[in-house]
Every structure is written in structure tokens, then in C-alpha cells.
Structure 1
């Protein structure tokens, strides 16, 4: 490394620490003028350019760092974080497969890297890495938590429970373990963690995420035990704290949905890119907790379909085309820039990404429910895309949202009024897509799917251009990973019993019940 480049890089780091991003950018540029493959400066430039609003410049710096082939574990870890930020899945896997990373990185970095890999569906690589982390540091609590999650995703619930218990033994304040283990099974009067959860709550920081994890876990376990009054109290507390920690503007959300419908008329949606995709993407869209995981599991039973899971691969192509980063699939600024977007370039970029997502198969699923926001852009850029819209009873869907603790998604779901308002906007937008995308979207009714799975699976396969396979309805089969809140339910097979969980809480759900009486909320099929 050039000594002069190092000095400029250090100047850039000091400028970042003081909040002077313009000065940091100049310092990193000076370092790169001395040594164009100076990885620390490339990573610094990526961070600063992104914070200054230049998504493409930040991406270019990240990819230059990747092609510079860093060898040191700290640089590999920093690079991996940036690659994950830009949804560069193949490069991320390659970066974290470098032997120096597993050999030299501390257990905490290895656990975080395993989470990155798991978030893109690279669970085998994630498991290998976290196993090495535990071998390196058996007392590292977070590594046991991560391994517990990976085991849960694979349906290894007893082993997952052991990891969560071990994580809590090593760090009694790692309350995520308590939250995750509550969902591994149905709790019983003779086997539950209610007393432990209540003791943990006394030690949790009031109003923090630790209390949120514990309140949601307590709600789940009390619900299993039929103590609905106490379960509701726990859910209300968890919802209130989580709502105070997230940003959601109902008015902005309403304007965004209206703006989408105004921009994406039939002419807009049918005149765009013609890039050959190679594999056919099947976008599973709808509300969270509407049965999208079950639908993906059915499709993944087909030997010609790869299940890519919940990715932001298409959203990333829109960010690159508009040179604007969003925290979710869409925001107002991206919508404004989308009017002048190069959709042929979006289609080409998505075709590149789909080679990794499809894993050599002819079809692949994209199961990010919130992609319903991007359907007009997807239809325009990827004419071969198929859309499956999963619909479930409005009360079942909304109550399930209300009692699910999301990570960074569904900020609308922690207050009944905001949840109902968002649901209404979603239904109006889906009506719009039906109108402007005739024949491109198939509505799939959750109740019909669980009552007559083979009939509906045949209908779904036909719409997607696939031949039906009997394995499609064997969702309890071994193999594959389910990395959503539905993991335990889906592993138990298709069930007709998962309806009206909200009934015991009817006395407290007045705003939701009243709001969902609106005719726009009724299921269409």
C-alpha cells in the first residue's frame, strides 16, 4: 500500500468522524489518485458517496474494492457489508468464502457475516461459517443465536431450541433467543417459558428492543395457553414500544400509493424493456402474513423452480437506474425519478441478477410481499414476469400483521388504525394492477389453497407455464429453508385450522373490525 494513500485515507476517516462528508470524499479521492486499488479508501468512498446521495458512485466504489481482491479479514468484512447493501449476492458469497475471513475474523464478525448470507438464502454457506465461529469461540452467545435461527429455518426445531437456551445461558440479556424459541412450537401448561419471560422483563431496559422481544414472546406463549387477556396486554405493550422506534407516515404512504397508480397506467406498464431473462421470475406479492410463504413452498416443490426467497433484487435495479437509495422497496423520491427511468437497463440488470437467483432452473420465485408496490415497474422492465397475488381473509391478515414482530419491514403494522389504512391502500392498488395488467396477475385465495391444495396448485402451475408435480403440495417435505415467521406452520404441512386467531381478542379489535368493513377490503378472486 502507498504510504501517501494511507495518510489520505486516515484524513478521510477523521473527516467522516467529524461529520464533514465533503472533506472525506476529497481525501478518499486523493488516496485513490495515489493508489486506485486502495481498498480502505474505496470502501470509505462508497460509504460517503452513498450518504451524499450518489447510489451509483457508491456502488462503483464497492465493486472496485471487490475486484481489488482484498485479503485481510477486516477488509473482507467491510466489503461484505457493502456488497450486501447493494444486493450483490454472488459477489457477497465469494467475498465471505475467502479462507482468510474464516481463519482470521473474530466470532462476532463471522456471526454477522452468517446473517448476511442467510438473508440472501445462502444458508449452507452461512451454517458452515457460524459452525466455525462456534468452534473458534464456544462462549460467543450471538453465534448460538444465529445457528439457532439457521436450524429453525431448516426445520430442526429441537436443535434450534438448544442453541437459544445456550445463547441465554451465555448472555441472559440476549432476549432475541426468548422471542425466537417462543415460536418454535405451541406452548403447553406443563411446558412453557412464561415465568422466565416475566423474570426477564424485570431486567430489560424499559422501552427498548429487549422489552419488545420479550413482550412479543410473552404474547405468543400466553396465546398458546389461552390466557388471552394477558396475551393482549403483552401485545399492546410490545406494539406501543415498537411503534415508537419506527418511522411511518400514513399520509406519505397514501400519497405514494396514489402516485403509483397515477404513473403506472396501462400504456406505461406495457412499453418497456425487452431484455431476455433466461429464467422466468414468479413474483409472489400481497400483504405480509397472507400465506406467501406457503405459496412459495408449493412452487418450490417443482423440480424446475428455484425458491429465491425475499430479495430486493428488482428494487436494487430501480435504485441504480434512478441513482437513489431507498430503505425499502420504494419512496417518494424514487417514484418521482421513475418517470424518466431507463427500463431497458433495469431489465438487463435484473437479468444479470436472475442468473444467481434461479440457480440454473427455468423458473424462480421472488417472494417479497412488498413487491406489490413495484408491479408496474416490474411489468414494464421484465415482460416475462408472472405475478401471483396471495389473498387471505382481511381480519386474519391484519391481525397476523399486528401480532408479528417485523425487523425493518411493515412499519405500518403496530397500530390498528395505521394497519387498516395501509391495508385499504394496498387493496386499491391491487385493483389498479388488475385493471392495467390484464392476464399478468393470478389471484390466489388462501382459504381455497388450504382446502383444495391440489386443485389450486394445478391452477397456479398452469398460469406459470409449468406442468403440475405432486410434490408441490407436500410442503412438509424435508429439505429447503423457510426463513420467515411462518417457518413452524409451514413445516407442519397444509392446515385448514389456521383461521380467526383474532376471535379471542374481538373486544379489543374494534378499530380494525370497523375499518375492514369497507367494501374495498373484501377479497376478490
Structure 2
């Protein structure tokens, strides 16, 4: 397991080729260790090497046919037809008795994807609903906690709070934050930006969250009530530590992107600590965003993602907070519509680059040829040229999405 753990650490540091070699070595030493096959397969998928990824997942299934995570992983980068053998394999597998809840969950997400591909949306939703239900039952979460938390952010970071802040923070302009809800186009925007010669795409980083928890955590929860605008030294220190930390990924590019989506909660603090940072906020139709979230199993813990009503309520909180940030910090944020980007890639790419003070780079129009690893649920989609399939996708599930639509503030 030591080599497997080292591989995970290297992957988290974006040292992908070294991580691949670690996982391969781990398999040589322990050829029946299933998590290693999953980790190596996932890493190949991140790199766009889908055939190699499927080979890893198939190897795991040969060792243990009940390792259903492998089915879910294969489904992520497969476009199914009715004649697809893996589709038939999964349909037979889920009928087996004595499957655990987790095995049913993994198969349900995979079959939801497969039935969506063949346009059987009723069956697709039944499987997605089953998978989400099992996942949601596995942890405790109350939307009321987030309601209180988001309100506290708005109360502290008021318009008055941002008066006379010109001399605050670390003035470095390296970071570009790409943020928004999951499945809102953040991976696409980061892929476009990282195709520019002056930008390194670092992906979803935990560096800012680490520093926030280090400085503003109380009883395991983030609490900004201790934040003092007069504490210039600490605000500058947080900004400096953040920039120093992300430069471990690339010390020779003008900008580094951070695509941690929850950073939208921290825009006020970013303004104080990193006033010259750029923030790209990705906006997508609320129903399409939430449906796309519901259709995905996330590696990280996203507690609101597996229940339609909770997801709708959380989306309302997110939108309300982003309206607040746009009101109190209007020139600090560039709002990019996913729909506008898909309909007019060039014009909206210009908008992004101009906001980031970057010259035009033709490579940004060929973002799908960028071979950087993509460590998100969009690992397959972001390697395709701009496509319009996902616009108004929610209409295919209109009746099934009633619990969501009823709570969304449209």
C-alpha cells in the first residue's frame, strides 16, 4: 500500500507521470490490490488515455467481478449504444442478488449514464435516482447549516466592509480563480485558459481552503467573525502564503488557475488578501446545472449533490451570495455564461482573456487539443470541441425534476 499512497500524493501534487509509475510499481508488487487499479485507471482518464484506463478497470473486474466502482469508472468515458457489450454486462450485473448498497449505487450511476446515452431518459432517471438515494443515505447533512453560514458571510462582508481597502493584501497577480457551481462550465473555462502560453492550469486546489481553515476555523467550522480589516499584516501574509504555495506547480508562468469551485464562498477574503487576483465566475442555467450534478458521482464530499430539493435550495444560496459579491465587488468578477460561451466561443474567450490582461492566443480556440490532465467529472467532455448537446438538457427530464424546479428561484 505504500507505493499506492505515494502515487496518490504525487497525483495530488500534479506530478502525474511519477504517480503513474508508482501505481504501476504497486501493481507489480501486489497484483491483486484493487484500489491501485482504480487509482491508475482514474489517472489515465484524467490524462485522456481512455483505452489504458478501461484496461485497468477491466483488470480489476477480472480479479473481482463485484468491484462495481470499475463499471462506474468505465461509464464516465464511454459513449453507449444499444449494442454495447458493457451496457449489457451492467444490466445483467445489477440483477444479481446479494449486491451491497455501494455496488448497487455504482452500477446505478453507470446505468443512468448508459440509458441517457441511448436516449431512454425514463430508465436513466430511475437509475440516477436510485444511485443518489443510496449515496444520500450514507451521511448526515442539514441545509440549515449552510443557510446560516451563507448569511453570516453576507453580514460580515458588507459593502461598508470594503471601504478604504486599497492598501491591503499581497499585490501579486499570479492567481486566476475559476469558480461557480459544479458542472457550470468551470472545467471548460480552465481548459481554455490553460491553453494560453502564459497560464498553467492547476485544477481544483485545496490551498486556499487550507489557509482559511488555519486562520478562521472555530470548532471545525469556518468563522469569519474574527476577521479584522485592520489586520493588514495577516491579510498580506495569507495572500503571500497562498501564492508561494501554488507556485510549486509552476514557477515560470505568468498566471496559475485554481478551479476549486467552493472558492465562490471566499471572494470577499480573496479581495482582501489578493486584490490583484482575477476571478472568473461561470454561470449556467440553474436546471441544467443541477441535473448535471445529479447525474454525477463526485470524488470529493459535496453533501447537497444527491438530493434534488437540497440541491435546489443550495443553488439558491449560491446565486444569492454571488449576487451579493457582484453588488459589493462589481469590477472584481468576470461573469461568463456557459450558454454564451458555447454559442460564441471566440467572443467569450476574448472576454476572458481581456479580463485577465492576456493577449490573444489561438491555442485557446483549440483547447480540446490541450493534453493537460483534467481531474474533474468533466474529464471526457473538456476534451471535445465546443458542443451544444447539453443546452436545455433538463427538458428531457422535466417531469422527473419537479422537486428541484419547485424550490429553485428562477
The normalised TM-score by structure 2 is: 0.93
Q: Does the residue aligned with 2:388 lie in a helix, a strand or coil?
A: coil
Q: Which residue of 1 aligns with 2:74?
A: 181
CA gap 1:425/1:322 in 2 versus in 1, 3 angstroms: closer
Greater alpha carbon shift after TM alignment, 401-410 vs 447-456 = 401-410
Q: Which residue of 1 aligns with 2:246?
A: 354
Q: Does 1:280 align with 2:174?
A: yes
**Aligned partners of 1:175 and 1:214 also within 8 Å:** yes
Deviations 1:7-28 (A, max 9, x none): xxxxxxxxxxxxxxxxxxxxxx
User: Matches of 2:406 and 2:344 in 1, distance apart?
Assistant: 31
Deviations 1:397-433 (A, max 9, x none): 0111111111333211211111111111111100100
- Give the deviation of 1:194 after TM superposition: 3.2
Q: Does the residue aligned with 2:334 lie in a helix, a strand or coil?
A: strand
Q: Which residue of 2 aligns with 1:144?
A: 37
The normalised TM-score by structure 1 is: 0.73
Q: Which has the greater radius of gyration?
A: 1
**Aligned partners of 2:194 and 2:201 also within 8 Å:** yes
User: Matches of 1:289 and 1:478 in 2, distance apart?
Assistant: 20
CA gap 1:324/1:132 in 2 versus in 1, 3 angstroms: farther
Q: Which residue of 2 aligns with 1:240?
A: 133
User: Matches of 1:242 and 1:141 in 2, distance apart?
Assistant: 21
Q: Does the residue aligned with 2:385 lie in a helix, a strand or coil?
A: coil
Counting matched residue pairs gives 404
Q: Which residue of 1 aligns with 2:146?
A: 253
Q: Which residue of 1 aligns with 2:202?
A: 308
User: Matches of 2:83 and 2:91 in 1, distance apart?
Assistant: 17
Deviations 1:107-129 (A, max 9, x none): x3322332233234221221121
**Aligned partners of 1:306 and 1:359 also within 8 Å:** no
Q: Does 1:510 align with 2:409?
A: no
**Aligned partners of 1:269 and 1:377 also within 8 Å:** no
**Aligned partners of 1:204 and 1:210 also within 8 Å:** no
Q: Which residue of 1 aligns with 2:16?
A: 123
User: Matches of 1:261 and 1:437 in 2, distance apart?
Assistant: 12
In the TM superposition, what are the counterparts of 1:223-238 in structure 2 within 5 Å? 223-238=116-131
CA gap 1:325/1:148 in 2 versus in 1, 3 angstroms: farther
Deviations 1:263-308 (A, max 9, x none): 012343463743243x521111110000100000000010110111
Name the one with the larger helix percent: 1
Q: Which residue of 2 aligns with 1:48?
A: none
**Aligned partners of 1:284 and 1:388 also within 8 Å:** yes
Q: Does the residue aligned with 1:476 lie in a helix, a strand or coil?
A: helix
- Give the deviation of 1:348 after TM superposition: 2.4
User: Matches of 2:365 and 2:343 in 1, distance apart?
Assistant: 12
1:442 maps to which of 334, 343, 346? 334
User: Matches of 2:212 and 2:276 in 1, distance apart?
Assistant: 17
Q: Which residue of 1 aligns with 2:266?
A: 374
**Aligned partners of 1:285 and 1:388 also within 8 Å:** yes
- Give the deviation of 1:177 after TM superposition: 0.9
Q: Which residue of 2 aligns with 1:164?
A: 57
**Aligned partners of 1:194 and 1:218 also within 8 Å:** yes
**Aligned partners of 1:319 and 1:325 also within 8 Å:** no
User: Matches of 1:434 and 1:148 in 2, distance apart?
Assistant: 40
Question: RCO greater where, 1 or 2, for CA within 8 Å and sep 6 or more?
Answer: 2
Q: Which residue of 1 aligns with 2:366?
A: 474
User: Matches of 1:123 and 1:480 in 2, distance apart?
Assistant: 10
Q: Which residue of 1 aligns with 2:223?
A: 334
Q: Does the residue aligned with 2:369 lie in a helix, a strand or coil?
A: coil
2:184 maps to which of 280, 287, 290? 290
Q: Does the residue aligned with 2:298 lie in a helix, a strand or coil?
A: coil
Q: Does the residue aligned with 2:205 lie in a helix, a strand or coil?
A: coil
CA gap 1:274/1:215 in 2 versus in 1, 3 angstroms: same
CA gap 1:243/1:381 in 2 versus in 1, 3 angstroms: same
Q: Does 1:153 align with 2:42?
A: no
- Give the deviation of 1:493 after TM superposition: 1.6
User: Matches of 2:250 and 2:321 in 1, distance apart?
Assistant: 28
Gaps of 5+ in 1: 1-107
CA gap 1:468/1:422 in 2 versus in 1, 3 angstroms: same
- Give the deviation of 1:513 after TM superposition: 2.3
- Give the deviation of 1:199 after TM superposition: 4.0
In angstroms, what is the RMSD of aligned CA positions? Answer: 2.0
- Give the deviation of 1:338 after TM superposition: 4.1
User: Matches of 2:219 and 2:341 in 1, distance apart?
Assistant: 37
Q: Which residue of 2 aligns with 1:459?
A: 351
Deviations 1:36-94 (A, max 9, x none): xxxxxxxxxxxxxxxxxxxxxxxxxxxxxxxxxxxxxxxxxxxxxxxxxxxxxxxxxxx
Q: Which residue of 2 aligns with 1:8?
A: none
- Give the deviation of 1:324 after TM superposition: 5.0
Q: Does the residue aligned with 2:281 lie in a helix, a strand or coil?
A: strand
